[in-house]
Chain A
């Protein structure tokens, strides 16, 4: 049971080790920032902070999937000892108007239901009390009178027509590209993305087509730290402390909600205890803000695990797909019809629908591709972003289809993929070229790790062994913006101000390394300040594996500007040209006169004081060309691509239906690993999460109600579910504009994971599974069906 030593497949980093690099930070596995205080539990998370006295808020939740609210009776709740106030959606709507409907793509979600409830568990009234126990007791006593409406729970039923979850679509005013959807009625489809590449042609003679229906169930993120938000008024300002990946977004959202200038809203974060997409956009913040502001009080919302399950989920998705290869084994056509179940509120579902739709035919050279991807309302808890941003759901279909297609042709699935994979410079079906996305390198690395070419020992008894592989592609979120402010302290330490949130992915460590590199600062010299919108500059979001590239570039620019400033100051002091001054680990040096000054000396002399700071700042923005409405194509739909692959060797116990993963190899092209050890932890951690998605992790619904929404019922990977052996492989093809060539990595290996395992199961027992997860019951049922004489 080992992690193999790192086998870096480096494509030759052009500038690695060359004279251009004097630093010693990038490419080194510096220890994770705050490692010891994390192990000892001393790191303060949001809910650990000592705050001013706050009233506790607990919400009363809907018991109906779809109903009109006829009345809310709070009399008994208000009589509960300790209850201060009970607030309904109607109360807030009267005060704040339609501003209480928020959301990142559609402004459709009220922080408390107004007029109607749309899922079991939707907040209907907020009970404000002294202490959580009193608030809970009060919330139990709120009586809601409903008139039931017909609900719709199934995504395909919702596509077909009534009942409708919303009377009309309410796209957010922020996005011009959604404006045409405003006011559309009588539909549950809130967004549709269509990709048309090439003209449909008759399949040539000798070609093979495979097709199937696929299903990925909804799942939950379950970061171990529960969501928490506190909010209070500070005069005419509102302050928020929250578990969020998106402080800049929350500031804007709350400012819009309350009609305040951005400067009057402060959103502060603390390191997150995991998130994976669960803690972003509008979660607890709008309600906390609305209550604190309108009630002129300090409130705290600390939710239980059961409530956290209701805040957001991962989209369940149905895919009807087909793929055709010609007689030479080239993929000539692919088709995918994707339906994302976004639940009662759109959240970021429309974005997921488009971004995942554009890669629904996989990382292949395909002459003709057609994708229709729809985002669909149902009466269930809202689905939002989850590590992979909808791409694992479509990868489940294309990597199952590609595998079947290879098998139908009698070809090795890895060899078939290798022939068809996109190469550097190839233009994908969406119209954007490939760069720094080495699919072939990733595929080769994971298959080599499994010794793919050598014959597999295949026992014929109870245990059957198989091998499978899958490849994944994802586009980075584009366009986005990052900013960085760097303060070099006179003593040679540095303070970095960015709004990237460290949630376990290691951004504080990575950004410190990038800042240290041009300045030749040692490990531990750069302190990264936790995002605080009063202090740290705008950053779009910490999500979608975008931070290493975007924030990293802003940080690199700020650090290079700082280096240039230091060189200027030193050149003036030495009386030499700036081109003659170099920065080293010991400080600034004149190559001509050999004069030297350490950073502390230089800044002390420059300012004539100790404790001073030198400041630089930089921004980094990416741009895109919006895709064509009709074809869904664009020559620059994304700034860059993520490439990953997974290969699994496993056994299936035909008596119990249990899958045992013997060896899992995972690879991601990260451009360049800023910190190889942290990259490996991301690759491995995402893979272990993916093993859960492949084998058991799922949210189970009955009539729209979650039936396994506690950790007694919801199964997560434990130490027993870790494969016997995991081989993480860092593939490096430097990105031409990445900071030191780097790109992100957090989602790369979760994308191909489930199909790699299912393909290995197919290899072991000859059964193709189209529905996740591959539970032992499902496998046993399929084995029994296989036995039945046809």
Chain B
């Protein structure tokens, strides 16, 4: 059955007709958000990660109808000066790059919950994402640096408050 749902994708309200079993992955790709990618279809690689109300979701397993009204973030919709993106670029954390948007969003989720995350927390949080090119060291560095940047920004804010 086709129903119309409303998704708030990267701050933009989108009304989309969906069937009950349409996947969030396909709906978002259909809306042009091709940073959301199918790598496994079974929740085991993280390439399809999106944030729904700030929480990471494997969109390959998610029925779109369940996200009616949700605020969704995809990597391509991050602000132009996004701190996590900046640190991934600086750390050269990409080879083919296919997996990287998923890692970027996982990093956002982690740092929103725990800006003090260290390497152990980072590894634990990113363990479900696969980078077949083997860029893990650079990804970890990017994540560590993004955490530092967050803490410093928070500190400066406090100072100036």
Residues of A within 8 A of B (CB): 1-3, 31-32, 34-36, 38-45, 47-48, 221-226, 271-274, 276, 304-306, 503-506, 677, 681, 684-689, 710-712, 716-720, 722, 726
Contact = CB atoms under 8 A, between A and B. Distances in A.
B55 to A, nearest CB: 19
A36 B89 contact: yes
Contacts of B41: 304-306
Contacts of B85: 36, 39-40
A225 B140 contact: no
Contact of A32 (B94, B127, B136): B94
A34 B92 CA distance: 11
B130 interface: yes
B134 A684 contact: yes
A272 B96 contact: yes
Contact of B89 (A35, A42, A505): A35
B95 to A, nearest CB: 4
Given A719-B136, A720-B123, A224 B45 contact: yes
A44 B34 contact: yes
A712 B44 contact: yes
Nearest to B137: A3
Interface stretch (B64-72, B73-81, B151-159): B73-81
B100 interface: yes
A42 to B, nearest CB: 5
A63 B34 CA distance: 34
Interface centre among A35, A506, A677 (most CB of B within 10 A): A35
A32 B94 CA distance: 8
B35 interface: yes
Given A224-B37, A712-B44, A716-B130, 5 more contacts: A39-B94, A41-B35, A41-B36, A224-B45, A504-B98
B44 A719 contact: no
Nearest to B77: A40
Contacts of B130: 222, 224, 711, 716, 718
Interface residues on B, range: 35 or more
Contacts of B96: 38, 223-225, 271-274, 503-504
Contacts of A41: 34-37, 74-76, 97, 100-101, 104
A710 B140 contact: no
B97 A273 contact: yes
Contacts of B42: 305, 710-712
B41 to A, nearest CB: 6
A39 B44 contact: no
A506 B37 CA distance: 21
Contact of A681 (B92, B122, B128): B92
B139 interface: yes
Contacts of A689: 132, 134
A227 B42 CA distance: 17
Interface of B is mostly: loop
25 contacts: A1-B119, A31-B89, A35-B94, A39-B75, A39-B89, A39-B94, A40-B78, A40-B101, A43-B97, A47-B34, A221-B132, A225-B98, A273-B96, A273-B98, A274-B132, A504-B95, A685-B134, A685-B135, A711-B42, A711-B44, A712-B40, A717-B134, A719-B126, A719-B140, A726-B137
Q: Which of A44, A677, A720 is most buried by chain B, counting CB atoms within 10 A of its CB?
A: A720
Contacts of A222: 130, 132
Nearest to B143: A719
Given A276-B132, A719-B126, A39 B93 contact: yes
B139 to A, nearest CB: 7
> Which of A39, A48, A306 has the most chain B CB atoms closer than 10 A to its own CB?
A39
B35 A505 contact: no
Query: Which of A271, A274, A503, A686 neighbours the largest number of chain B CB atoms within 10 Å of its CB?
Result: A274
A35 B85 CA distance: 10
Contacts of B109: none
Contacts of A710: 40, 42, 44
A719 B127 contact: yes
B39 A226 contact: yes
B149 to A, nearest CB: 15
B95 A506 contact: yes
Contact of A711 (B39, B104, B135): B39
B133 interface: yes
In this complex, which of B29, B39, B138 has the most chain A Cβ atoms within 10 angstroms of its Cβ? B39
B95 A505 contact: yes
B99 interface: yes
Nearest to B94: A38
B134 A719 contact: no
A689 B29 CA distance: 30
A95 B86 CA distance: 55
Nearest to B26: A132
B44 A681 contact: no
A306 B40 CA distance: 8
B52 to A, nearest CB: 17
Contact of B98 (A31, A224, A677): A224
B123 A719 contact: yes
B137 A684 contact: yes
Residue picked from A38, A45, A47, A688, most chain B C-beta under 10 Å: A38
Most chain B Cβ neighbours within 10 Å, of A304, A681, A722: A681
Contacts of A40: 35, 75-76, 78, 85, 101, 104
Contacts of A305: 38-42
Interface string B106-141: 000000000000010011001111111111111110
Contacts of A35: 89, 92, 94, 97
Contacts of A712: 40, 42-44
Contact of A39 (B97, B122, B136, B137): B97
Contacts of A48: 29, 34
Among B78, B100, B126, chain A packs the most CB atoms within 10 A around the CB of: B100
B107 to A, nearest CB: 11
Q: Which of B36, B97, B139 has the most CB of A within 10 A?
A: B97
B147 interface: no
Contacts of A506: 95
Nearest to B88: A39
